[in-house]
């Protein structure tokens, strides 16, 4: 068997880059840390411009390019766009403009839903930007042209969760309101189409009913990243447990405190990333 080249070994040692509008992508990072314990990670939370779900396509394309450009300066060997709004708006553009392999979060969840659904009736709970993009119906229909897809936008839901509220009556009322019209469509599978939503999965399950299977794309994304690294010979061979570091465009201390709840691990290495610095990489 041919030994990996020095260049491959050097690339394999680099971290995996990941970005999101805030804390939600940490649920994706959590799954990646479990699935790929030997890998290093660099995560950017764009908390100064949170939330992304209410932004225009043009804004999301700009933000996504800036964050990807920054991660290439780290440098990283692969970028995970751990945000559904950014993936929906900008993934093809990023893959065209950057040389680093880039993975989005929509297709893995769509694939899992199609493989899980018995009756080909699939629901999607997501932000306004993700729903408006039509990314999930396109991804699902590319895998199963006959599947019925029902989308439900959930404006404001991310803000509850980002603020650490996962159990209040106000949140429960909001979730009930968002799930009711979707439940009427009688899907047998519902995709949690936002990285924040797995943190309220028990509440979503309660209002959707026990006959509905919830799909958490974060698990599928981790498996997809693992497969890409193995196929490209970029998996880290070192048996040591990998490290992780963080960058936040907003308040660093708030990111460290709230982020630990999302990641379920301590966040010690958090650095400030200024929007001015991002603007020098890709200008508006």
Q: Is 156 left (phi over 0), alpha (psi -120 to 50) or beta?
A: left
- Distance, in Å, from the CA atom of 251 to the CA atom of 50, rounded to the nearest integer, reads 12
Residues of the chain with CATH 3.40.50.1860: 6-104+219-281, 106-217
Of 83, 94, 114, 122, catalytic:
83
Of 194, 208, 222, 273, catalytic:
194
Quick: pLDDT tens for 238-282.
778 999 999 999 999 999 998 998 888 888 889 999 999 999 999
Determine the pLDDT at residue 2.
43
Q: In the annotation, is 32 catalytic?
A: no
Alpha helix stretches (DSSP H) within the chain: 6-12, 26-35, 57-73, 84-97, 106-116, 128-133, 135-143, 157-162, 169-184, 201-208, 217-231, 252-263, 275-281
Spell out the CATH class of 106-217: alpha beta
6-104+219-281: CATH architecture: 3-Layer(aba) Sandwich (3.40)
> Residue 136 — φ and ψ, nearest 5°?
-70, -50
Quick: pLDDT tens for 59-82.
999 999 999 999 999 999 999 999
State yes or no: pLDDT of 6 exceeds 60: no
Determine the pLDDT at residue 4.
54
Determine the pLDDT at residue 5.
56
State yes or no: pLDDT of 171 exceeds 60: yes
């Amino acid at each position: 068997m041919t030994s990996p080249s020095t260049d491959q070994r050097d690339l394999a040692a680099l971290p995996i880059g990941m970005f999101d509008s805030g804390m939600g992508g940490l649920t994706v990072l959590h799954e990646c840390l479990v699935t790929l314990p030997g890998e290093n990670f660099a995560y950017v939370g764009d908390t100064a411009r949170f939330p992304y779900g209410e932004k225009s396509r043009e804004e999301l394309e700009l933000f996504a390019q800036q964050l990807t450009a920054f991660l290439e300066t780290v440098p990283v060997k692969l970028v995970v766009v751990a945000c559904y709004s950014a993936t929906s708006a900008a993934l093809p553009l990023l893959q065209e403009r950057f040389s680093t392999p880039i993975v989005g979060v929509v297709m893995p969840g769509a694939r899992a839903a199609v493989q899980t659904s018995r009756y080909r009736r699939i629901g999607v709970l997501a932000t306004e930007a993700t729903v408006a993009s039509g990314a999930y119906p396109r991804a699902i229909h590319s895998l199963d042209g006959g599947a019925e897809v029902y989308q439900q936008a959930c404006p404001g839901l991310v803000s509850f969760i980002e603020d650490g509220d996962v159990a209040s009556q106000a949140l429960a009322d909001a979730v009930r309101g968002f799930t009711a019209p979707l439940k009427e469509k009688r899907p047998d599978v519902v995709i949690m189409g936002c990285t924040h939503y797995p943190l309220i999965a028990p509440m979503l399950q309660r209002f959707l009913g026990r006959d509905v299977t919830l799909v958490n794309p974060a698990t599928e994304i981790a498996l997809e990243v693992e497969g890409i690294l193995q196929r490209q010979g970029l998996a880290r061979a070192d048996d040591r447990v990998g490290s992780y570091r963080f960058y936040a465009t907003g308040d660093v201390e708030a990111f460290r405190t709230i982020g630990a709840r999302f990641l379920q691990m301590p966040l010690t290495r958090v650095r400030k990333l200024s929007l001015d610095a991002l603007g020098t990489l890709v200008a508006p």
